[in-house]
Structure 1
């Protein structure tokens, strides 16, 4: 049985409404998505599931044993669990979780009711990451990338170091998923911080212009950095996500 760091445990908030899958980011944990999940459950009545992706919430040593296929498998298993409820399923995720959100929407284009990628990485990079993963002399690990948060005194529960092997996997995956955005046909609400020190905000434009959906919306955040779900705009994110889901459901009715 997996032993998670305190606060990194998977969560489920049961509700009578539609299902919402919430996915955390690279080297992070469910701690970054718990507030969003709980708010969607308490204020909107949605049934919310927040899995901890393979290799996360434990230790960098455990993460180093995993890769994209493992992280995607975690997201896929959680999606299948929610789909079994027989109600519409929406997916949202932060950063790499947003990338996995888009990946699920590409694979299950006819089953997912809508997606809300938050500061998602989808093929727009500044080149620094490419130089690192291609360098023959690249170290096995680099300092962590967590806690890019504008609000004072708020910390993300994330690894203090990042296995470069896993960075190579996420780089390949975001490029591939970013090239398949045209397969997404469900409604999309993109949420993106204007100032993000981890993922280039241009990813929002890439998603918006390349998805195949006819219903694509974009909400900019003015008071948060990368881990926006823990930052100053966390309530705005919950409200935007909840209302988007309600509007999609009302349109389907």
Structure 2
């Protein structure tokens, strides 16, 4: 804990209403989720928690020491912290954070009231990543994948390099989680950019096909790339998530 890059610190916004866990993406930081978390707190009264996942927000060397179980443990601990408040808990996440959102919903149907995966990884890929993770001659690190953003002048706080060992971890995890979507029964609001240069948009369709919820919604974003929570549609995302959580509460 500690020694975070400026802007990558975990955050928590106190609210009287239900809880919302917000999870950032692979090699990214809480900076990408701060606007969404703040909006859910200020505009809807939710109590919001944004953890920084293990190995993130510090250094690439630190990330290289971590893997899926570490990232999942960070999300798991934050979820249970919110559950102790005794109020309904919702989860939303971007990219790998969306993948972890799906994993939590599959694992804890009795805790999670609804989820909003945003440009989530769920096992649909174009093949390029598979070639890299299977290559025995792959380098230890490759150039970073951050800041896939359509809006001009906006930069994501993310690592400039990616440990290939971590790529192998996330590739295995997204494939496995994609095969366990049938365990998800809570209401789901999927949000997906039509043009995404990091996660193939077909992941949204796989999530729709795989989950067993009776309440499945899909919102396509037309004016954002992968890091949509920092992009042109960030206000739309916050409004749709807040509305979805509120409607879900009314239906329970």
What TM-score do you get using the length of structure 2 for normalisation?
1.00
Q: Deviations over 1:106-139 (max 9, x none)?
A: 1001220000000000000000000001001100
Structure 2 equivalent of residue 229 of structure 1: 229
Q: How does 1:1-253 map to 2 (within 5 A)?
A: 1-252=1-252
Offset at residue 2 of structure 1 (A): 2.1
Work out the CA distance in 1 between the residues paired with 2:247 and 2:186: 13
Give the whole-Å Cα distance in 2 for the aligned partners of 1:184 and 1:111. Answer: 12
CA distance in 2, matches of 1:173, 1:222: 28
RMSD of aligned C-alpha atoms? 0.4
How many correspondences in the alignment?
Answer: 252
CA distance in 1, matches of 2:70, 2:56: 11
**Separation in structure 1 between the aligned mates of residue 125 and residue 109 of structure 2, nearest angstrom:** 26
Q: Secondary structure at the match of 2:81?
A: helix
Structure 1 residue 12: deviation in Å? 0.2
TM-score by length of 1: 0.99
- The 2-side partners of 1:239 and 1:232 are apart by 13
